[in-house]
Amino acid sequence: MKRPLLIDTDPGVDDALALLMAFAHPDVDVVALTIAAGNVGLEHTTANALRLLEWIGCDVPVHAGAARPLVRPAEDAAFVHGRNGFGDTGLSRSRDGVAALHAASAICDYAQRHEGRLELVMLGPLTNLALALHLDPALPRRIARLVVMGGAVTGRGNTSRLPVEFNIGFDPEAAHVAFESFDRIELVDWEATLRHGLDLAEFEAWLAEGGKIADAYRSISVATRRFMLERRGDRWHAADALAMAVALEPEGVVASAGRALRICLDGELTRGATLVDWDRRGGHPEQCRIVLQYEESRWRRLLRTALRLDAKP
């Protein structure tokens, strides 16, 4: 029987690759997408999810969720992903078809429908999950796994608040609620993402192999690839796809560390930082399994399959 997977996402160029990876995988059944604001506004992230489903001819429910962080407004990441989140390309018109239920309610609903089996993968700010936890505090007991892309576990972030990673920095209060509620979180942070960069020229050669999906992905990622080349050198980093690889094939994790992690909620430069008790001094429960290294060959295979360049894994 396939494993039920629910993906909360704010597409987003790297979210798109993660979604393509999940839909290509034979072991999971993606039961729904729940959508957050983050990389760009909710209207765009929702339209992008629908657009992506249209490319692959898939019809899972899309539930729009939080349009803003729980407490304080936050800046988006349009400078990386384009103003519409998909590189300002309008590859195809999105269909109408947003499901009626709010994303937070949908998370609770699917967790009950697949009690004890649902695997939840969070690829954006944790706002919908925090709202779901308010609706159903028993949620952590209902789901089988929680995989989160977020954080910078030794303080090398990717936002203007230097130690802060985007997903956590966008909504620190939501992250706080989530990280204090779950006692088992598989975490893929920004620093793991940096360690799993691909050679950009090679990634571009993959995209040039062509096909409907690779062509679509090449088109939405033009601006992001240019941004990476200018800002980060010759590596292609795909944070959400790495988190999805961990979610889909956790046996590919070759090094990880169990530690307590807490969210910093204040400070001009530190709001949204993820503070890890590396030396185990604080006595807080060790709720995070921090992924340090993922098997290289498996990572590359899953990426190529996401782009439909090879047969399914």
**What distance in Å separates the CA atoms of residue 270 and residue 252, rounded to the nearest whole number?**
32
Q: Which of 8, 109, 119, 165 binds ligand BDR (CB under 6 A)?
A: 165
Which range, of 90-98, 121-129, 246-254, 292-300, touches Ca ion by CB under 5 A? Answer: 121-129
Determine if 34 is a binding residue for ligand BDR (CB under 6 A): no
112-65-269-273 Cα dihedral, nearest 10 degrees: 20
Find the binder of ligand BDR among 12, 87, 163, 252 (CB under 6 A).
12
x/- string (CB under 6 A) for ligand BDR, residues 242-281? ----------------------------------------
| Tokens 């980093």 belong to residue | 237
Per-residue x/- mask for ligand BDR, residues 104 to 143, rule CB under 6 A? -------------------xx-------------------
Radius of gyration of the chain (CA): 18
Cβ-proximal residue to ligand BDR, closest one: 166
> Looking at 44, 102, 237, 284, which residue is catalytic?
237
The answer to whether 178 and 172 have CB atoms below 8 angstroms apart is no
DSSP for 218-269, please give it: HHHTHHHHHHHHHHH-SEE--HHHHHHHHHH-GGGEEEEEEE-EEE----TT
Measured CA to CA, the distance from residue 9 to residue 17 in angstroms comes to: 11
**Is 237 in the active site?**
yes
* DSSP strands (E only) in 116-172: 119-122, 145-149
Q: Which is nearer to ligand BDR, 171 or 173 (CB)?
A: 171
**Size of interface with Ca ion, in residues (CB under 5 A):** 6
Nearer to ligand BDR, 144 or 194 (CB): 194
Query: Which of 8, 14, 173, 191 is the binder for ligand BDR (CB under 6 A)?
Result: 14
> Token pair of 95, please?
């269909």
Nearest to 71 by CA among 17, 127, 19, 28: 127
Residue ranges binding Ca ion (CB under 5 A): 10, 12, 15, 123-124, 240
| Catalytic residue ranges | 237
Binding site for ligand BDR (CB under 6 A): 12, 14-15, 39, 77, 80, 123-124, 149, 158, 165-167, 190, 239-240
